[in-house]
């Protein structure tokens, strides 16, 4: 599990959903929460929170200019790659800390991923969990 420490910077609410903006080392991370500031005391601007997401939800791209809808992007070099027959575990050093990704070994080969290569780790907004 990837765990990052940050604080809530902004909240946009519509009906029973909130789009929560969290700052982690000056990097904005977004999360969709099925709650509102009036129903969940965690959802307060300035509140220190932990951002959590699974390694299997981290998508890897090479280069740094990805024009896609994903807002949570973390750029950095690959620190390590552990490959097995089907899956590989990558650890990427980013401005928010180390991000772990589990992708197929075939994808590692297709993208020609090697230790030291600068990549972008991406996580969909709806895969981010916010806790205290």
| CATH number of 39's domain | 2.40.50
- Domain identity same for 72 and 106: yes
pTM: 0.82
- Domain identity same for 48 and 61: no
- Domain identity same for 38 and 65: no
- Domain identity same for 64 and 107: yes
| CATH number of 89's domain | 2.40.50.100
- pLDDT tens digit sequence for 66-102: 677 788 999 999 999 999 999 999 999 999 999 999 9
Q: What is the pLDDT of residue 24?
A: 96
- Domain identity same for 72 and 112: yes
Are β-strands 27-33 and 97-104 bridged in parallel, bridged antiparallel, or unpaired? unpaired
- Domain identity same for 8 and 20: yes
Domain carrying residue 94: 55-123
Token pair listed for 85: 């027959």
What does DSSP assign to residue 36? -
- Domain identity same for 10 and 68: no
- Domain identity same for 60 and 36: no
Whether residue 18 has pLDDT greater than 70 = yes
Q: What is the pLDDT of residue 64?
A: 59
Phi, psi angle pair for 110, to nearest 5°? -60, -40
Q: What is the pLDDT of residue 67?
A: 72
- pLDDT tens digit sequence for 27-47: 999 999 999 999 999 999 999
In three-state secondary structure terms, 56 is helix
Q: What is the pLDDT of residue 61?
A: 85
Residue 21 backbone class (left: φ over 0; alpha: ψ -120 to 50; beta: rest): beta
Q: Report the distance separating Cα 110 and Cα 49, nearest Å.
A: 36
- Domain identity same for 83 and 109: yes
């Amino acid at each position: 599990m990837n765990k990052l420490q940050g604080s809530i910077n902004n909240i946009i609410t519509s009906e029973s959903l909130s789009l929560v903006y969290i700052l982690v080392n000056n990097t904005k991370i977004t999360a969709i929460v099925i709650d509102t500031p009036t129903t969940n005391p965690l959802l307060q601007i300035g509140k220190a929170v932990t951002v959590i997401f699974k390694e299997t939800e981290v998508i890897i791209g090479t280069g740094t200019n990805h024009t896609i809808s994903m807002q949570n992007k973390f750029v950095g070099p690959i620190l390590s790659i552990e490959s097995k027959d089907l899956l590989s575990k990558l650890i990427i050093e980013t401005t928010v800390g180390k991000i772990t990704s589990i992708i197929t070994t075939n994808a590692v080969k297709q993208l020609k991923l090697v230790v030291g290569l600068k990549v972008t780790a991406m996580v969909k907004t709806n895969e981010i969990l916010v806790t205290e």
